Amino acid sequence: MDRAEKCAWQVIETLEAAGHQAYLVGGCVRDRLLARQIVDYDITTSARPEEVQSLFAQTVPTGIRHGTISVLVGSLQYEVTTFRTDGEYTDGRRPSEVQFVRSLVEDLARRDLTINAMALGRDGILHDPFGGQRDLEQQRIRAVGDPRRRFEEDALRILRAIRFAAQLRFEIEERTLQAIAEEASSLQAISRERIREEWHKMLLTHPDLAIRLLLQTDTLRYIFFRPPADRTLWQRAADWAGRAPADLALRTFLLYSAIGLDQPRMEKNMQGLKLSSSLKRELHEQISMQSSGSPAAWSDLQFRQLFFEYGHRAVWRRCLIHAVSQDANRLQAWSERVDHHRQQQPLWNLQDLAVTGQDLIRAGIPAGPALGRWLQRLAQLVLRDPAKNEREVLLHQLQRWRAEETGDA
Ligand code: ATP
Ligand code: MG
């Protein structure tokens, strides 16, 4: 048992010692049964949020209105949530209010999928009123209770069902699958941010399976702005994204390319899904790098210049995009090629130059924008001829350039 799990059981023990019930619940129980890596341990308890707060030295009222208190144990964090039901759903998005309840079973009943609706006690007893363990064994995704109603309450569950099916390579049970198709339009009410989070989780697991399920259930339209109708494009997208390493920008760009989006439509999709500014920047790097032509034709110098301009990760992505979309079976070779160039790279930024701005000022260059331009020029020199990255050589070169400019040469 690792430290994170040990501490989780200690949190549960503390709650029990104060007379409450407490269990591991949800994803951690599922992943434990599957012997998968556990991301975080969630705890469900009969204790009210204020009681949880009073029992632990360090807490954060993360979602106190929904009964969730984060308990901090050193650098570890546990979400402890009071048994609750979600009350009425008035808008198909969020419960209008939550109600704290007495029993564990009621709390499990509000959860989305049977495999996520199990709790484990310190006594080792698994509380599994909806057959989650059997569904895990049979590799089946099934909604808790009446699937249509559950999707009507919160349509995000539709994407969660698809995401877990893709992530775990499970089948979606018949009635649940049918309810997905019937309730798909409710996804319109779900915030773009929640949709984006699920979509990105799909992209980072088995995107090929996810895309197939999204196609099959006609739910792609709720993720993409006007997705192309041509299925062969989507099959290509599934194939490409599925073969690429699990990097969000890489897979997103491959998918955009596979379905043939031009730049304005890419922008529209990026905005539509409210992508983070860092992901947008990474995608814009790829758009901009298209003008450097095919990596297959890059010289050593071009590799050095692109590393300097865009950084290693962006160049790596560009090469893997090429490998997946144009050079199918040579992913490994391309990774190695990028790595080889990375090891040779003389200069990643201006700080790697053998001279500093101060050196240039001492050599008579006035501080200001001109200084930056001289540094850039020296950097280009070093990129062309890495052996020149020596202080004396660069200062000498600088004097020659300046002499040429003033006509003293
Ligand atoms: P992951 O490994 O992706 O974190 P998880 O199962 O832990 O998977 P979370 O989003 O962290 O997923 O949610 C924790 C638990 O809360 C789930 O296991 C499930 O029981 C419940 N849950 C989460 N989202 C919903 C939802 N939209 N409707 C009903 N129950 C939900
Ligand atoms: Mg989780």
- pLDDT digits 0-9 by tens, 57-108: 999 999 998 999 999 999 999 999 999 998 666 665 566 678 999 899 999 9
Buried b (16+ CB within 10 A) or exposed e, 318-327: bbbbbbbbeb
Ligand 1: residue whose CA is nearest its atom 28: 112
Q: Which residue has the least CA distance to atom 16 on ligand 1? A: 26
Atom of ligand 1 nearest to the CA of 157: 27
3-state helix, strand, coil in the chain (%, to 5): 60, 10, 30
Helices then strands, counting H and E runs in the chain, come out as 20, 11
Confidence at residue 407, expressed as pLDDT on a 0 to 100 scale: 73
* Separation CA 116–CA 25 (nearest Å): 8
Q: Where are the alpha helices (DSSP H) in 146-191?
A: 147-153, 156-168, 174-183
Low-confidence residues of the chain: pLDDT under 70: 87-96, 408-409
Give the three-class secondary structure for 84.
strand
Cβ neighbours of residue 376 under 8 Å, at least 6 residues apart?
350
To the question of pTM greater than 0.95 for the whole model, the response is no
Pocket test for ligand 1, best of 115, 116, 196 (most atoms within 8 A of CB): 116
Structure tokens at 318: 């560009």
Q: What tokens appear for 13 in the block?
A: 């023990």
| Residue 95 pLDDT | 63
- Looking at residue 86, its amino acid is D
Q: Please say whether the beta carbons of 67 and 99 come within 8 A.
A: no
